[in-house]
Chains A and B, each alone.
Chain A
């Protein structure tokens, strides 16, 4: 299907502002009479708050002091449930838990004041590991430390063991990962009798913040307003946590009667906000003599930290992705999210799938080795095809050719030749650099799982003004991924206009409808489709009015809008998500159509390992994926390139060092992400099999690259060194030890 604007690399809508430094992020804003706010946090991982001491040498009468007692509504940051306090009142359950808020106009005095508050805590025994939590060394949450568990069953796993030629087991672990958006989190709040509560800030989901503030203040919908400022990266890290900062800033604003700005510095952001859930996955796999999967028994656990936040949903996605793009008649997945006394873990691009896909793809390479066939051969013999069912019972209704993707990725990366060459060079034992090449094959479901999109009931509005500009009103946020631009392209395509004529209204809950959160690889596919539909309806209204005729020019369109508006008033359209009738999901059995569509991918990583230092370098990377339709090639490639970079960080560089529930390497010096000299050329290739329900056929891609990057690298390292990699990050320290024992 020929498209005018879709499929073109239209320059980023807000590009000019970003390259000139005129884009306004929250810390660039200043309000008259504004105060700064800071948070005083728990020094202990768990305990009872005995007293709060305020040292003598601060002019406390000048400062605004807020504690839990100042909360007018419910003391919680409402999300799925309401277990997380806004401010700890009686007990603390993790280090750095917020207890006291302070505000003053002088930032420097405020820091002195923060130092001068001492929270006296009578410690209680705490739990810091998945093992201890499951063992119930202490019950720190609910009845049994378990936020949520799932049980997925397909076929009959137990029957398969007896007849299996081979059973391969393995245990795999992934660590926490900090989102490390370069713009730290922040909010400005203003509270007045007239306006209610208004917050401006760096965030992904204005309506999440809106709901949380309603409950915190006990105020109705129209008395809370949330505005998204230009956001410097999110990656999930600004999905739920901004509600906490918004709550804090608002409480201070309410008490002081002045606007209050809270900006976290990097150390506070790292130590206090959410991270990717650490995980542990156990696989037990039965295969035939020639490598056909007979049964997959998977046990998956994530560490959720001290409060539930989004752990059930992270667990859900990880669970559903745990068995990958393979046809296996018998699958069992038992999973659970457990509590520990660490700051709650949260959303990070991939959202449970990077954890289980790492385990699966590493495990399948080991299964192949046990069977005695090449890893690609094992995949080939088990790749799922149209008409077959995934682990949760979803019948694949898309045309999927995983083998074709894999062969293309191998051709582009020179996989076969390099495998031979590296194997020969490595065993010649001459040089100290060993090379490896490895891959991962995977899928990622776009949109909310199962009945999630139905529950979200997302809405989009559109308005054509008298001057012919078309304004898109959606709660979806731009944070670098290109929302503004692709929405403009989708609308421009449907309306046969140029992108310049399309405007994106700043996400502001006073003006835009709730389009659902900007997460879950849903913005292009689900919300983009609503944008497309809204444009189509708007056009229909104009046509029906008689002011617009076929074959219209941009000028005709403008004139038609002008005429319509003077005759009939505002020209608007409005769309609400309708769940496709043929998608069925059973929440009880956790089976059915998990996602409307999947992106399918094969990634190939080439590494060199310096055997003297165990330093790993990713030398080349090829990412091939089928995504329905590429709306904007530069933006889409940018998403994959950036995601692969984060995946490389996840695999090799990013290590959170924990000490009794606290991140101790909370500086950019010590928590290390890749620089421009650490990353290879990342080559990205798209295939397109249009998805009928996506705008112009587009599916979601935002999270996909986080799933396959780390396992491809892990498999490449295993090839290069003979080390059986079982956990990420693969630090040089661990790798050197493992290489030396492999040698011995």
Chain B
């Protein structure tokens, strides 16, 4: 049996909390989140970086966690879907998804919400084209994207009203 790597310790900040876990250096960050840290909100849809179901924020950038090796998460500041709501209060995007039908089966939803939240951080008032482009790396098989766009637009509108 081929041997080689030992497990390494990876320390990073996940959803605001410092964590340390053990993983093979090239274990997928997706699996570290789900299996070591028990944060099962981030999903595997394809294992090839095509569907975006595993999307998270790493140092503020949207990345597909199925393509990040554990070793490269060392020292990173990571946000997953579990870190989007604030305490018990849903983020505007999450609320909008519930109210406007942005989630059907829900499996693409965590990654989609991460992408939407990340989009709004970069473009607080995105136009339609920017919304579509910003979410183009997240595949949804259920909705045809219509209600996802409506949810994002509603989240922007609701944020404006509150501001």
Interface residues, chain A, CB within 8 Å of chain B?
9, 11-12, 14-25, 27-28, 57-59, 112, 179-184, 230-235, 265-267, 479-482, 634-635, 637-638, 641-646, 667-669, 673, 675-677, 679, 681-682
Contact between chains at B107 and A25 (CB < 8 Å):
yes
Contact residues in A for B149 (Cβ distance below 8 Å):
676
Report B74-107 CB contacts with A as 1/0, cut-off 8 Å. 0000001110110000100010011111111111
Residue of A nearest to B27 (CB): A108
Residue of B nearest to A481 (CB): B104
Residue of A nearest to B109 (CB): A18
Contact between chains at A182 and B139 (CB < 8 Å):
yes
A7 to chain B, nearest CB (A): 15
Which of B42, B107, B109, B141 is A19 in contact with, Cβ under 8 Å? Answer: B109
Contact between chains at A21 and B141 (CB < 8 Å):
no
Contact between chains at B98 and A682 (CB < 8 Å):
no
Distance in angstroms between the alpha carbons of A736 and B64 in the assembled complex: 35
A458 to chain B, nearest CB (A): 23
Please name 7 further chain A to chain B contacts, defined as beta carbons within 8 Å, in addition to the given A15-B98, A638-B101, A643-B144, sorted by A numbering.
A18-B103, A232-B43, A641-B147, A645-B141, A668-B51, A675-B139, A679-B144
Contact residues in A for B81 (Cβ distance below 8 Å):
20-21
Contact between chains at B1 and A112 (CB < 8 Å):
yes
Contact residues in A for B18 (Cβ distance below 8 Å):
none
A453 to chain B, nearest CB (A): 26
The verdict on A19 contacting B94 (CB below 8 Å), with A638-B101, A645-B143 known, is yes
Contact residues in A for B41 (Cβ distance below 8 Å):
20-22
Distance in angstroms between the alpha carbons of A645 and B147 in the assembled complex: 12
Q: Would you call the interface of chain B mostly helix, strand, loop, or mixed?
A: loop
A653 to chain B, nearest CB (A): 12
Contact residues in A for B104 (Cβ distance below 8 Å):
233, 480-482, 638, 642
B39, B43, B135: which has the most chain A beta carbons within 10 Å?
Answer: B43
Contact between chains at B107 and A182 (CB < 8 Å):
yes
Can you list 19 A-B contacts (CB < 8 A)? A20-B41, A20-B82, A58-B1, A182-B43, A182-B140, A230-B106, A265-B44, A482-B104, A634-B100, A638-B146, A641-B146, A667-B50, A668-B45, A668-B46, A668-B48, A676-B136, A677-B132, A679-B144, A682-B144
Contact between chains at B101 and A682 (CB < 8 Å):
no
Contact between chains at B143 and A642 (CB < 8 Å):
yes
Q: Would you call the interface of chain A mostly helix, strand, loop, or mixed?
A: loop
Distance in angstroms between the alpha carbons of A266 and B105 in the assembled complex: 17
Is B32 among interface residues, defined by CB-CB distance under 8 A? no
Residue of B nearest to A181 (CB): B141
Residue of A nearest to B138 (CB): A676
Contact residues in A for B145 (Cβ distance below 8 Å):
641, 645, 676, 679
Contact between chains at A642 and B141 (CB < 8 Å):
yes
Contact between chains at A12 and B101 (CB < 8 Å):
yes
A275 to chain B, nearest CB (A): 14
Which of A15, A17, A233, A677 is B107 in contact with, Cβ under 8 Å? Answer: A233
Distance in angstroms between the alpha carbons of A57 and B82 in the assembled complex: 41
Contact residues in B for A22 (Cβ distance below 8 Å):
41, 82
The verdict on A266 contacting B99 (CB below 8 Å), with A18-B109, A480-B105, A642-B142 known, is no
Contact between chains at B103 and A12 (CB < 8 Å):
yes
> What are the nearest 6 A-B pairs in CB distance?
A21-B41, A232-B107, A480-B105, A18-B106, A645-B144, A480-B104
Contact between chains at B43 and A183 (CB < 8 Å):
yes
Contact residues in B for A25 (Cβ distance below 8 Å):
43, 107
Distance in angstroms between the alpha carbons of A57 and B75 in the assembled complex: 37
Contact residues in B for A231 (Cβ distance below 8 Å):
105
Is B14 among interface residues, defined by CB-CB distance under 8 A? no
Contact between chains at B45 and A638 (CB < 8 Å):
no
Q: Which of B100-146 contact A (CB under 8 A)?
A: 100-110, 113, 131-133, 135-146
Is B148 among interface residues, defined by CB-CB distance under 8 A? yes
Contact residues in B for A267 (Cβ distance below 8 Å):
47
Contact between chains at B144 and A184 (CB < 8 Å):
no
Distance in angstroms between the alpha carbons of A19 and B117 in the assembled complex: 12
Is B29 among interface residues, defined by CB-CB distance under 8 A? no
Contact between chains at B101 and A668 (CB < 8 Å):
no
Contact between chains at A644 and B144 (CB < 8 Å):
yes
Contact between chains at A183 and B132 (CB < 8 Å):
no
Contact between chains at A681 and B139 (CB < 8 Å):
no
Residue of A nearest to B114 (CB): A21
The verdict on A15 contacting B97 (CB below 8 Å), with A182-B105, A266-B46, A669-B48 known, is yes
Is B53 among interface residues, defined by CB-CB distance under 8 A? yes
B117 to chain A, nearest CB (A): 11
Distance in angstroms between the alpha carbons of A16 and B94 in the assembled complex: 8
Is B40 among interface residues, defined by CB-CB distance under 8 A? yes
Residue of B nearest to A647 (CB): B144
Residue of B nearest to A621 (CB): B144
A204 to chain B, nearest CB (A): 11
The verdict on A19 contacting B105 (CB below 8 Å), with A646-B141, A677-B133 known, is no
Residue of B nearest to A646 (CB): B141
Distance in angstroms between the alpha carbons of A27 and B140 in the assembled complex: 19
Distance in angstroms between the alpha carbons of A20 and B80 in the assembled complex: 10
Contact between chains at A638 and B147 (CB < 8 Å):
yes
Distance in angstroms between the alpha carbons of A118 and B155 in the assembled complex: 54
The verdict on A266 contacting B48 (CB below 8 Å), with A14-B106, A675-B139, A676-B138 known, is yes
Contact between chains at B108 and A182 (CB < 8 Å):
yes
Which of B40, B106, B135, B144 is A641 in contact with, Cβ under 8 Å? Answer: B144
B112 to chain A, nearest CB (A): 9
Contact between chains at A233 and B82 (CB < 8 Å):
no
Contact residues in A for B148 (Cβ distance below 8 Å):
676
Distance in angstroms between the alpha carbons of A481 and B104 in the assembled complex: 6
Contact residues in A for B140 (Cβ distance below 8 Å):
182, 676
Contact residues in B for A234 (Cβ distance below 8 Å):
105
Contact residues in B for A182 (Cβ distance below 8 Å):
43, 45, 51, 53, 105, 107-108, 139-141
Contact residues in A for B141 (Cβ distance below 8 Å):
179-182, 233, 235, 642, 645-646, 673
